[in-house]
A and B are shown apart, each in its own frame.
Chain A
Amino acid sequence: MLDVEQRWELIDKIAKRTIKFGKYRHTLQDAIAEITVKPLTGIPIAIAVLYGFWAFFVAFARFSTDGFLVKLFDMHWLPWLQEVFPAGKESWLYYIFVGDPLAENCFEAFGMLTSGLFVVIGVVLPAIVAFYLVLIVLEDSGYLPRLAVLIDTVLHKIGLHGYAIVPSILSLGCNVPACTACRILETKKQRFIMRTILAIFIPCGAQLGIMLKVIPETVGWVILYLLAGYFILGFILSRIVPGESPELLLDIPSYQRPTFSNVGRKLWVRTSSFFTTAIPFVLLGVIIINVLHLTGVIDWLATGLGPLLSGWFGVPKETVGALIVAFLRKDLAVAQLSAIEMTKYQMVTSVVLVSIYFPCIATFVMLLKEGGVKGFLGSLAALVATVFLYGGLLHLIWILLGVA
């Protein structure tokens, strides 16, 4: 075996005999490459890019859902189903599959074929498609590593480095692949911090989509509160978790024009994998929650946990159902919250609780798979502490503002 120096010496000799560098012209691409990575111009551009991302996501999701799919579901699908469903309106089958016979929209009905399908196809699907479309363009263009360079200093404060932006942004689509993406971080400490804060604080695309629909006015505040939590918990973990946080050593690729075929293929693969993993869980979630309602388990839990929910977190005890569903699917849980009577502030707290309280089961499995038993238990401990302290803090804020 050669040593490092001998190998480079050999490469030098080979290169001298085989490579000729022609005259290099400074192209438009190089100019773009420079202005997007220099802080003075790069940071405003990054803000514009991220804002554009969000604006497109919101516009696309609202256009499809409110402009089209809500009408389809509420004016055609729901009345039709209420009319033709073979079982009687009082039967438990009707309750599970169609839900409330008097419901006028698919959110309130909460049957498997009404709310279940509406959440997946009517609300979440357009959001997922919009999100992945922009994300894929960002991925393929080569912009993500530049974002990593710009945000490096900030992420060092929480024991990570700029490249942690990659799992963080992927996580906004789905936490599951984001947990795997943490492997690009160098040390165990970094991977632990990253997995833990993304599983707790980053809402997935499905959840973002449903939040837009359920709490359109306050969704921005919820996201800000979660983002603040991401940094606070990251900061604390970086101080107490032993291990190293090395510097960012990153290769920035050249910009590329995304190709239609690759964007289309990736969009298809991700959307279809969303379908196959989300639909069974959402439908199952509706069944489970309806069965728990019918058997009185929810009431029993609501009474038992009521003092904790209303006393500590300041939310109605009925939210217990949503918290159970949140374990399966966050989007469904937020949808369920919309049917519960509460104030705007309680709603914000409930949505935040659904977000930070246990990650969905699929993410849970990834935390165990990627972190091992020890890492998993560590994430779990951080999670429990976060739910009580950070969730309770929001209640305290409302009390201080006099709106609780």
Chain B
Amino acid sequence: MRILLMGHPNVGKSAVFNRLTGARVTESNYPGTTVDYTKGRVRIEGDSFEIIDVPGAFSLEPKDKAEEVAVKMLEENKEAVAICVIDASKMERGLYLALQVIEKGYPVVIALNMWDVAQDKNIEIDVKELEDILTVPVVPVTAISGEGIRELALRIKEASLVKIEKIIEKAGN
């Protein structure tokens, strides 16, 4: 099984990648640090998976070369599981890409990264409720310190396909 790390630019995909794999991909605080993909391996409960750090993209309609790489990675890996990394302090924006990936028919796990920043800003996110609506695992993570990474890894196997209609129905109630 392959795992793709998808998300907006500068939400911490490379930080999550380094935490999961022990690799040394460059992490910086500006959008567009990663412009090409990097492969690594992660061991979860004895099984080894290939994981790819994908360049950031705002949506699946590419606007620059780095986003083209991201969309291409997604299309070339139809069987992959996607970890959608979202900046927890700007959750709505991140959900846009996550929903697009779900609609495209990929099993998804959501990592709400920069959880510490969201808490500092007094943003409260009801993770249980979000999980219930989306019916995919949602894990709060602070990749820079490593908090939540273990849970994220353990829950990758819970990722499953969801029909967008089901999400609409659940959100409506």
Contacts and interface: CB of A to CB of B under 8 A. Distances in A.
A13 B172 contact: yes
Interface in A243-283: 250-251, 253-256, 259, 262, 265-266, 269
Given A15-B92, A17-B133, A251 B122 contact: no
B164 interface: yes
Interface string A222-238: 00000000000000000
Contacts of A181: 32, 35
Interface stretch (A18-26, A96-104, A378-386): A18-26
Interface in A192-207: none
A166 B26 CA distance: 15
Interface centre among B96, B117, B171 (most CB of A within 10 A): B171
* Chain A interface extent, by class: 35 or more
Given A19-B91, A184-B64, A191-B65, A256 B123 contact: no
Given A7-B99, A18-B133, A184-B64, A265 B126 contact: no
A112 B168 CA distance: 70
Nearest to B66: A183
A17 B171 contact: yes
A23 B9 contact: no
Contacts of B121: 22, 24
Interface stretch (A47-55, A119-127, A134-142, A316-324): A134-142
A310 interface: no
Given A14-B130, A145-B30, A166-B30, A183 B35 contact: yes
Interface string B53-91: 001000000011110010000000000000000000101
A400 interface: no
A253 B30 contact: yes
A326 interface: no
B31 A250 contact: yes
A269 B95 contact: no
Contacts of B35: 180-181, 183-184
Contacts of A8: 96
The SS class assigned to the A binding surface is helix
A259 B15 CA distance: 12
Given A18-B133, A185-B64, A2 B123 contact: no
B103 interface: yes
Contact of B168 (A1, A10, A166, A253): A10
Contacts of B28: 136, 139-140, 144, 266
Contacts, number: 125
B103 A17 contact: no
Given A139-B29, A259-B144, A23 B65 contact: no
B130 A18 contact: yes
Contacts of A180: 35-36
Nearest to B120: A27
Nearest to A187: B64
A326 B125 CA distance: 57
A108 interface: no
A159 to B, nearest CB: 15
Contact of B122 (A21, A186, A269): A21
Interface in A158-211: 163, 166, 180-186, 191
Nearest to B63: A186
A106 B97 CA distance: 57
B30 A139 contact: yes
A11 interface: yes
Given A14-B134, A181-B35, A251-B10, 12 more contacts: A7-B96, A7-B100, A11-B99, A13-B172, A14-B133, A18-B133, A22-B124, A24-B121, A24-B122, A166-B32, A186-B63, A251-B9
8 nearest interchain CB pairs?
A: A22-B122, A184-B32, A183-B65, A139-B28, A142-B29, A183-B35, A20-B124, A13-B171
Interface of A: 1-2, 7-8, 10-15, 17-25, 136, 139-142, 144-145, 163, 166, 180-186, 191, 250-251, 253-256, 259, 262, 265-266, 269
30 contacts: A1-B103, A11-B95, A11-B99, A14-B133, A15-B92, A15-B95, A17-B129, A18-B125, A18-B126, A19-B124, A19-B126, A20-B124, A20-B126, A21-B123, A22-B124, A136-B28, A139-B28, A140-B28, A144-B30, A145-B30, A166-B30, A180-B35, A181-B35, A182-B65, A183-B55, A184-B64, A185-B64, A251-B31, A262-B27, A269-B26
